Amino acid sequence: MTPILQINSLKASVNGMPILKGVDLTVNTGELHAIMGPNGSGKSTLAAVLAGREDYEVDAGSILYQGADLLEMEVDERAREGLFLAFQYPVELPGVSMMNFLKTAVNSVREHRGLRPLGAAALLRLAREKAALIHLDSRLKKRSVNEGFSGGEKKRNEIFQLAMLEPRLAILDETDSGLDIDALRNVADGVNGLRTNDRAFVVITHYQRLLDYIIPDFVHVMYDGCIVMSGGKELALELEARGYDWISENGVPA
């Protein structure tokens, strides 16, 4: 068990407004962590800071990713180093074909890992295999990235890309929101199929339901920019039963 991600006392702000107010979190390879918490508590902000979004200012603290200073790395460097963010709101890219996008992304990651770039045929084979894994409608592969995709299709597409890029650390930001029951199962099956000893997941969700399918090793509660409570999978059930008021009444640090 080696730590893949170590977040220490992380403080971050947007336009001078503090949002993350001291986050500590360690994720080891092979683990799956769930982060829950009320709207606006800073979950997506944490994901954005990890992915390297520029509008977020890191004011204090540190992030080590595979032992290296993550904050020193460019957005694309992080991705090539195996960090993957499944977006809460995937972006539509009109005119950018799925296959061309996947080819460029997969091969830039492969090249970074010292692997040979995949040709068109090999890539298509890989795409077919991975699309089947998460039941992505194969016709979507012929369209522009996310353009006109339904909410659920966009989320599936994120997991499809995750499967294609085989990251070391995947952060899923509310991938379950807006999914119907079947899609939820498909996405969960996809994630479970990708759980390995050398890969880690951070899953941001509002719903215990997802965690019935994807069993987390740890559950954390984010509240007003801090992780205020951590526990096993039973914490999610407790939250479901009691709501976040329970948190604010008990154990929110000053």
Partner 1 sequence: MARGTRQDDVEARFIEAHHRLFGPGLNGEPGFLHNLRQKAIGRFGSMGFPSKKDEAWKYTSLRGILRTPLAVAPDCTAPPPSVRAIHGLDAHIGVFVNGRLHAGLSVLASLPAGVTIAGLGDAPPALVAAHLARQADFRGHAFVALNTAFLSDGAFVHVPDGTVLDKPVHLIHVISGRAPTLAQPRTLVIAGTGAQVNLIDTISADLAAPSLVNSVTEVFVAAGARVARFEVQDPAAHVSLVTALSAYQLQDSHFQNNSFTFGGQVVRNNIAMLPDAAGCETLLHGLFIARGRAHVDNHTLVDHAKPDCYSAENYRGILDDRATGVFNGKVLVRQDAQRINAYQSNKSIVLSNTARMFAKPELEIYADDVKCSHGATTGQLDAEALFYLRARGLTMPQARTLMLQAFARDIVDKVPIEPLRSVLDERIAAILAR
Residues lying near partner 1 in the complex (CB under 8 A) are found at: 51-54, 74-76, 78-80, 84-85, 87, 90-91, 93-96, 100-101, 104-105, 108-109, 112, 144, 161, 165
44 touching ligand ATP, by CB under 6 A: yes
Minimum distance between the CB of residue 44 and ligand ATP, rounded to whole angstroms? 3
State the binding partner of 99 from Mg ion, ligand ATP, partner 1, none, CB within 5 to 8 A by kind: none
Residues 54-83 binding ligand ATP (CB under 6 A) are 55
Candidates 4, 12, 25, 45; binder of ligand ATP (CB under 6 A) is 45
3: how many CB neighbours lie within 10 A of its CB? 15
Token pair listed for 18: 């503090």
Can you give the C-alpha Rg of the chain in angstroms?
Answer: 18
- Could you give the count of Cα atoms lying within 13 Å of 151 in the half-sphere of its Cβ? 9
Residue number with the smallest Cβ distance to Mg ion: 44
Nearest distance from C-beta of residue 47 to ligand ATP, angstroms? 8
Q: Taking the mean position of all CA atoms in its chain, how far away is CA 167?
A: 10
Tokens representing 143 are: 């369209």
Binding positions for ligand ATP, rule: CB under 6 A: 14-15, 19, 37, 39-45, 55
